[in-house]
Structure 1
Amino acid sequence: MTRAILKRLISMLLSLLAASLAIFVMLQAVPGHPADFMLGLNAQPDTIAALNAELGLEGTLRERYLDWVGGMLRGDFGTSYTYRVPVAGLIADRIWVSAPLAVYALVLTLLVAIPAGLLAASRRGRASDWGVMGVTQLGIAVPNFWFAMLLVLLFAVKLRWVSAGGFPGWSDPAQAIKALTLPAIALALPQASILARVLRGALIDTLEQDYMRTARAKGLSRRATVVRHGLRNAAIPMLTILGLQFSFLLAGAIIIEKVFFLPGLGQLIFQGITQRDLIVVQSVTMLLVFAVIAVTFAVELAYTLADPRLRRA
């Protein structure tokens, strides 16, 4: 087991290295230069050279890549070309929007998916099963940004229960959670639909096992059998799906933050792209990649610990 964990850790580090190189190279290939954007096309060569020296853009690609990676390992993500402040500070300010939003959406996903999956599996072939499958199919098909706009139209414009966007900060936690509720619902809809269908399939397979029939023969009710034994065993394949879903929540939050005008990492990436602030874009993107790979590693580790067959491998 220790050997398997070590192999996964090495694979994670190699993935991070490859991702950092790919992100850096692709962004450097984007047409245009930050100095041209900041100073204009008619700027003098000596002014451009001075700005390049100030921003650390005068070295070769290899030198700049090594400086960037080395800085990240020390916690220094560089200085924003536009804001002229450390990128780490910009990320720290905005991660308190994006991270709670992703966690909130994941909690909503579990709160919806587990009861729906249990209901569909325990009433297989009945009207409630067909109802759950139909609703989840619709939830998968509808794009979350379109669903987000429908939520804004209904709850913000028509009913006026919440504001159409913005974030008041965490000085008032109740208002902050209220501001994140519609974005979290929009993010959770497709993920809850997928997870409910996966849970239903896993539970149906589990309920057909011999040990489940033995539990029923010993006098356990169907409900107790499903909850005590079925859900526990069906949770193993769910772990993999949850890891993937967290990745989708992080990626989807970039679009959803734009719809709801949330000052999160997604908004920061959009601003960096439009302003040619490459150091911001590549640092935030690398941070998101790290989060996805780290969560995937944690899920694989949990999967190994939860499955006795993998622990013995």
Structure 2
Amino acid sequence: MIRAIGARVLAAIPVMFGVAIVSFFMIRLVPGDIVNSIMGTEYGDPEVEQRLREYYGVDAPLYEQFFTWFGNVLRGDLGTSYRTGRPVVDEIMVRFPATLELALTALLVSVAIAIPLGVASATRRNGPLDAGSRLISLIGLSIPNFWFGILLITMFSVNRNWFPSGGSNDFSFSWDHFQYLVLPALTLGTSLAAVTMRMTRSSMLEVLSQDYIRTARSKGLSESTVVRRHALRNALIPVITVVGIQAGALLGGTVVVEQVFSWPGLGTLVVQSIGNRDYAMVQGSVLFLAGFYVLVSLIVDIAYLFLDPRLRHRG
């Protein structure tokens, strides 16, 4: 068990290093830099521009900038925002709770929709419910998040004024806060539910064909008992993996939805920072999201080891 966990931790190291390299160099492929963003393209005083580039440290060769930044990252310093002058970590911690709240709510929505539909679809294979569930999952996979979000805004905000069209307020356990969360969580959760539902159905069909399920039925157990106690537990093992991967990817996947609903999360911060050429903020945010994704994946792998004892001895 310890060797298996250690192997997964070691595998995360090159992943994080690769993310650091990609996030550093990809943002610099965008034309312009922080000095151009501040001064504009029309006004140009070479002396002032040079002083600003020296001040922000973007005048040095790229490899030197990278090793300086990455060396600071290894010491736990993600840098300072070019725009606000505040530490990147502080800016991330201000925005991260909103993104985490949206991601977790969307994940709950997806699980609440997908698992019951997947189980019902598998136990009623080739019936009307199965056909309808597969059609719904296909639609959910096909519709882009930004289009579905705009559709929900039109239906429930513009036409009926049931929910706010965007924005948020300070967190509280009240309807005044959660009404802002309904539409963006549905937008994200619906697409996730499509993937989870298909996996649940596929896994249930495979488990229901096993010999021990036929044995349970031959003992006279009711179908609901067979499904609930014998089939569902084993069928959920691959589903947990999919849900875990989605949980990690959600933090980065909220970028588009946050833009559509003006949600004040980390995704909105990344988009704004790209527009401002705030290199430190973009690099730090992407690295933070990647680290969170790796952490969630590691937790899922460990949970998988507990659920499936056969994997504990493979290393």
CA distance in 2, matches of 1:66, 1:3: 32
Partner of 2:299: 298
Tell me, yes or no, if structure 1 residue 31 matches structure 2 residue 31.
yes
Separation in 2, partners of 1:270, 1:242: 26
**How far 1:7 moved relative to its partner?**
1.8
**Distance apart, 1:114 and its partner CA:** 0.9
1:12 maps to 12
Shift of 1:172: 6.1
Spell out the pairing of 1:211-230 with structure 2 (5 A cutoff): 211-230=212-231
Q: How does 1:1-313 map to 2 (within 5 A)?
A: 1-40=1-40, 42-171=43-172, 173-313=174-314
Quote the Cα distance in structure 2 between the aligned partners of 1:19 and 1:236.
29
Shift of 1:133: 1.3
Q: Is the 8 A contact 1:120 1:129 kept in 2?
A: yes
Render the CA deviation track for 1:100-139: whole Å, top value 9, x for unaligned: 1001000111111111011111111211111111111111
User: Which amino acid letter does the alignment assign opposite residue 245 of structure 1?
Assistant: Q
Partner of 2:66, secondary structure, is: helix
Matched residues in 2 for 1:131 and 1:37: separation? 51
Contact 1:118 1:200 in 2 (8 A): yes
What is the Cα deviation at residue 227 of structure 1? Answer: 0.9
Query: What TM-score results when the alignment is normalised by the length of structure 1?
Result: 0.93
Tell me, in whole angstroms, the C-alpha distance in 1 between the residues paired with 2:131 and 2:87. Answer: 53
Contact residue 23 and residue 282 of structure 2 kept, 8 A: no
Greater shift in the superposed pair: 134-143 or 27-36: 27-36
Structure 2 CA distance, aligned partners of 1:266 and 1:169?
A: 18
In 1, the alpha carbon distance for the partners of 2:30 and 2:140 equals 36
CA RMSD of aligned residues (A): 1.8
Asked if structure 1 preserves the Cα contact closer than 8 Å seen for 2:27 and 2:274, the reply is: no
Q: 2 CA distance for matches of 1:98 and 1:107?
A: 14
The gaps in structure 2 that reach 5 residues or longer are: none
Q: Contact 1:55–1:79 at 8 Å: present in 2 too?
A: no
Whole-angstrom distance in 1 between the partners of 2:188 and 2:171: 21
- Please give the alpha-carbon distance, in whole angstroms, between the structure 1 residues aligned to 2:225 and 2:137: 25
How much has 1:58 moved relative to structure 2? 4.2
> Given the superposition, is the C-alpha separation of residues 74 and 173 from structure 1 closer, same or farther in structure 2, using an over 3 Å criterion?
farther
1:263 partner letter: P
The one-letter code of the counterpart of 2:61 is T
Alpha-carbon distance between aligned partners in 1 of 2:59 and 2:29, rounded to the nearest angstrom: 16
Kept in 2: contact 1:79–1:87 (CA 8 A): yes
The change in CA–CA distance for 1:40 and 1:205 in structure 2 (over 3 A counts) is closer
How many equivalent pairs are there?
Answer: 313
Please tell me whether the aligned partners of residues 75 and 88 of structure 1 are also in contact (alpha carbons under 8 angstroms): no
Q: Please list every run of 5 or more consecutive structure 1 residues that lacks an aligned counterpart in the other structure.
A: none
3-state secondary structure, aligned to 2:180: helix
Structure 1 residues 178 and 72, CA gap change in structure 2 (3 angstroms): farther
Query: 1:151-203: per-residue Cα shift (whole Å, max 9, x none)?
Result: 10111111111111011121564322221111010001111011111111111
Matched-pair contact (CA < 8 Å) for 2:137–2:195: yes
Amino acid at match of 2:81: S
**Structure 1 residues 68, 173: CA separation in 2 closer, same or farther (over 3 Å shift)?**
farther
Structure 2: how far apart are the matches of 1:123 and 1:40?
63
Distance in 2, Cα, partners of 1:167 & 1:73: 35
Work out the percentage of aligned pairs sharing the same amino acid. Answer: 37
- Structure 1 Cα separation of the partners of residues 307 and 163 of structure 2: 41
